[in-house]
Amino acid sequence: MLTLSLEQPTRTPTRIACSTRRLATLPTARNEQLMHFWVFLRQRRHWLPLALAICCLSLFSLSSAPLAAQEQLTRSAEPVFIAPELPATSLDGVLAEGARLESLRRWGEAVTHYEEALRESPENVALQQRSDLAKLHFSLDRRYADRSFVQSLQTLTPQQAGALYLELARKINTHYVTAPRWQYLAQRGAAAIDIGLGEPTFCTANGLKLSNEQLTALRSELYQLTTRPVNGPDELAAFAAEVARLVEGRCNLRQSATYLEFTAAAAGGLDEYSAFLTADQLRDVYSQIEGNFVGLGVELKADKGALLIVHVIPGSPAERAGIKDGDRIVAVDGRSTEELSTDEAAAMLTGEEGTAVRVVAETAGQRRELTVRREHVEVPSLEGVKITDPVNGVAYIKIPAFQKTTSRDLDAALWDLHAKGMRSLVLDLRGNPGGLLTAAVEVADKFLQQGGIVSTRGRSAQEDFNYQAHYGGTWRVPLVVLVDGDSASASEIFAAAIKDNARGDIVGQKSYGKGSVQGIFPLGYAGAGIRLTTALFYSPNGQKISKHGVIPNIPIESARTAAKPIQQPVNVAANVAPGGYTAAKPNSGVSELTIVGQDAVLEAGVRAAVSAAQQRLAAPAADGTVK
């Protein structure tokens, strides 16, 4: 998912040779608005791709200026954009707030704002147009703040940059989940150039000084080119080459800069999860998979001119320095975050291992200055492993994301909990944005004796897989899975497999509904890559997860309630683990369980686990053993 990394950037881009990884990644709203400091430099999540199919032609006249300044620009450029008629006042308010964020150049916050509105009104054309405009601006700002991208901009020859774009187009043609809309990708590339020519960051980095007359004339010529039909990757590359020559001739923009804008726009225009990855971003993706990086060890997102700490990794430098979940970072190294863009503020947190950064953290209006050292951080694949209710033998494990080591670490945790008297298990997938498809399958296979886990279907037959459970080594412990609206992708694969196979209860709120699989493809130049949607996934019952999510059979509102101790000890004699080993019976008595933070979902999950253990004891297995 996308995702801002505090991993130490490599100064010289290198070509990375590796096999394609199949990811069920986090959704854009997290993957692009949550900045995981162990994931690739995205604003984290997410590089923001286009979420919906819209007409790019309108972007030429929308321009890179905020709404208040657009009238002057559209009068001097063709075609003149006529704003769509707005419906009710609620939408007017959404657009007005979006315009305010755009005028402040808070593109990341604007993207989040529009994406949330589009989840409620996905067909609204005005929201689609403003959302895509914000994404193009945000993508540009992020790339030009990325050191590896700036270096590739300076070192790639026009021939190499053109070859990079053609390679990307051919990978899209071969692997993308549906037939690409080549004409649209051409138009979006031209729109990205149009926006760049009006952006100070782009013009300064490329040494451009354009008069209003030059810009107006060039936009008109760009628009005329977009009317040409484009079919297939080779014609798309030829179109980009013609635009590159045109812009170079009119304003002396290097052709490599045009090709790179087309590359990012094409990848980002496919869907909300596909994206172009700079060399640093690609390295960070692999660090996320491996579960290690150099940084502070926090996950954050933009929040009204500050950086909101969403999660602090246990044992990280940030935790040792005193940063807590829910803190707001309002200053970095003496500079207020209000005077910085989200990317600028987040970039100031990055640095070499062993260096330190000063931050001002705010909690409930109280501010404190902290110094945090950048260090190597191991991201735990599991958190909070414990017997949360000793009397009833209810174990708890949180899986924050499905990474390479999750299956192995879960095995060790389960055996440890088994030895401590585990009689039922609560697996917490709330906030889990996804991760490796294979990791989710492996974890599901630990709890399913037979039946399907997930199936994937793509445009290419090589993307079609049916994953099945295996009998050996199955844990038969009663299971409860906690989910919420931020549980996405790989976590939805696991939850749907448990639900459809009637293996356990699903407790909480409906999951996000991100039902696609992405592959990571390295490209041949500048150490760059592409994250490409290759397939959709379906639950064992054939249900499409995308846009639907997993609906809990025990729904719980997100509001927290007062914690209540569980007063009914369960007389479960034993729990049978793989191989038939039994756990020791804990002492009977009243549970002293308390739900940290008065967590209503966790409390309901524990109660469901207790009930499931009682039912398991009352229904012996066919062979007469306790299940």
**Do residue 155 and residue 94 come from a single domain?**
yes
Query: How confident is the model at residue 558, as a pLDDT?
Result: 66
Task: Among 250, 270, 290, identify where a domain stops.
Answer: 270
**Do residue 186 and residue 234 come from a single domain?**
yes
At residue 391, the 3 state secondary structure works out as coil
Instruction: Exactly one of 341, 381, 489, 539 is catalytic; name it.
Output: 489
Alpha-carbon dihedral 394, 395, 399, 403, rounded to 10 degrees = -140
Q: Give the residue-averaged pLDDT of 377-402.
A: 94
Pairing between β-strand 479-483 and β-strand 504-508 as defined by DSSP bridges = parallel
Distance CA 565, CA 588 (A): 15
Q: What is the pLDDT of residues 278-304, one digit of tens each?
A: 999 998 888 877 777 788 988 888 888
**Do residue 413 and residue 354 come from a single domain?**
no
Residue 620's pLDDT band (cuts 50, 70, 90): low
Residue 105's pLDDT band (cuts 50, 70, 90): confident
**Do residue 183 and residue 257 come from a single domain?**
yes
Distance CA 440, CA 266 (A): 30
Looking at the structure of the chain, the number of domains it has is 3
Distance CA 165, CA 242 (A): 13
Residue 621's pLDDT band (cuts 50, 70, 90): low
Q: What is the pLDDT of residues 552-606, one digit of tens each?
A: 999 998 644 333 333 333 333 333 344 333 333 333 333 334 444 579 999 999 9
| Cβ(135)–Cβ(48) below 8 Å | yes
AA letter at 69 = A
Q: What is the pLDDT of residues 76-90, one digit of tens each?
A: 333 333 333 434 458
Query: How confident is the model at residue 18, as a pLDDT?
Result: 32
Task: Among 356, 378, 400, identify where a domain stops.
Answer: 378
Q: Give the residue-averaged pLDDT of 374-390.
A: 92
| Cβ(545)–Cβ(514) below 8 Å | yes
What CA–CA distances, in Å, run from 314 to 122, 297, 487?
Answer: 38, 8, 20
Query: How confident is the model at residue 512, as a pLDDT?
Result: 92
Helix (H) or strand (E) segment spanning residue 189: helix 182-197
Residue 243's pLDDT band (cuts 50, 70, 90): very high
Mean pLDDT score of the chain: 80
The beta-strand segments (E) located in 255-381 are 275-277, 292-295, 298-303, 306-312, 328-332, 335-336, 356-363, 366-373, 375-378
User: Per DSSP, what are the bridge partners of residue 455?
Assistant: 466, 538
Asked if pLDDT for residue 452 goes beyond 90, the answer is: yes
| Cβ(377)–Cβ(284) below 8 Å | no
**Do residue 433 and residue 370 come from a single domain?**
no
Query: How confident is the model at residue 151, as a pLDDT?
Result: 95
Instruction: Exactly one of 135, 171, 499, 514 is catalytic; name it.
Output: 514
Q: Of 42-46, 377-381, 395-399, 623-627, where does mean pLDDT reach its minimum? A: 42-46
Helix (H) or strand (E) segment spanning residue 522: strand 516-522
514 is catalytic: yes
pTM over 0.85: no
Taking the CB of residue 579, how many other CB atoms lie within 10 A of it?
7
Asked if pLDDT for residue 513 goes beyond 60, the answer is: yes
Structure tokens that stand for 446 in this block: 């630990």
Q: Give the residue-averaged pLDDT of 380-393.
A: 95
**Do residue 372 and residue 392 come from a single domain?**
no
What CA–CA distances, in Å, run from 16 to 464, 495, 552?
Answer: 26, 34, 41
Q: Write the DSSP string, 456-476.
A: EE-SSGGG-EEEE--STT---
- The answer to the question of residue 459 being in a domain is yes
First to last CA, the chain: 38
Residue 23's pLDDT band (cuts 50, 70, 90): low
Helix (H) or strand (E) segment spanning residue 164: helix 158-175
pLDDT above 70 as % of the chain: 78
Distance CA 36, CA 261 (A): 25
Distance CA 352, CA 206 (A): 27
Tell me which residue range forms the domain holding 175: 50-270
Task: Map tokens 């986090």 to a residue.
Answer: 26
403: CB partners within 8 A, 6+ apart? 288, 289, 290, 291, 379, 381, 435, 436, 439
- The answer to the question of residue 287 being in a domain is no
- The answer to the question of residue 498 being in a domain is yes
Q: Of 38-47, 403-412, 459-468, where does mean pLDDT reach its minimum? A: 38-47
- The answer to the question of residue 25 being in a domain is no
φ/ψ bin of 333: left (φ > 0), alpha (ψ from -120 to 50), beta (otherwise): left
Q: Please give the distance of CA 69 from its chain centroid, rounded to a whole number.
A: 32
Q: Give the residue-averaged pLDDT of 102-131.
A: 89
Pairing between β-strand 479-483 and β-strand 298-303 as defined by DSSP bridges = unpaired
**Do residue 601 and residue 501 come from a single domain?**
yes
Going by C-alpha positions, the residue among 183, 68, 54 that lies closest to residue 126 is 54
**Do residue 173 and residue 97 come from a single domain?**
yes
**Do residue 364 and residue 451 come from a single domain?**
no
- φ, ψ for residue 626 (rounded to 5)? -75, 130
CATH number of the domain within which 579 lies? 3.90.226.10
- The answer to the question of residue 186 being in a domain is yes
Rg (CA), the chain: 26
**Do residue 231 and residue 343 come from a single domain?**
no
Structure tokens that stand for 620 in this block: 């012996």
Which is more confident, 56 or 144?
Answer: 144
- The answer to the question of residue 24 being in a domain is no
Alpha-helical runs (H) found in 291-387 = 317-321, 342-348
- The answer to the question of residue 362 being in a domain is yes
**Do residue 365 and residue 398 come from a single domain?**
no
Q: What is the pLDDT of residues 246-280, one digit of tens each?
A: 999 999 999 999 999 999 999 999 998 999 999 99
**Do residue 387 and residue 493 come from a single domain?**
yes
211: CB partners within 8 A, 6+ apart? none
| Cβ(423)–Cβ(276) below 8 Å | no
Distance CA 265, CA 258 (A): 11
Q: Please give the distance of CA 123 from its chain centroid, rounded to a whole number.
A: 23
CATH number of the domain within which 356 lies? 2.30.42.10
- The answer to the question of residue 44 being in a domain is no
Instruction: Exactly one of 141, 389, 500, 599 is catalytic; name it.
Output: 500
Task: Map tokens 């053993």 to a residue.
Answer: 625
489 is catalytic: yes
Q: Give the residue-averaged pLDDT of 185-191.
A: 96
Q: Give the residue-averaged pLDDT of 168-174.
A: 97
Q: What is the pLDDT of residues 555-565, one digit of tens each?
A: 998 644 333 33
102: CB partners within 8 A, 6+ apart? 66, 67, 110, 130, 133, 134, 137
Residue 22's pLDDT band (cuts 50, 70, 90): low
Task: Among 245, 270, 295, identify where a domain stops.
Answer: 270
161: CB partners within 8 A, 6+ apart? 255, 256, 259, 260, 263, 525
At residue 247, the 3 state secondary structure works out as helix
325 is catalytic: no
Q: Of 226-235, 272-281, 451-460, 553-562, where does mean pLDDT reach its minimum? A: 553-562
Residue 472's pLDDT band (cuts 50, 70, 90): confident
- φ, ψ for residue 464 (rounded to 5)? -90, 120
Residue 112's pLDDT band (cuts 50, 70, 90): confident
Query: How confident is the model at residue 301, as a pLDDT?
Result: 81
Q: Give the residue-averaged pLDDT of 458-482.
A: 93
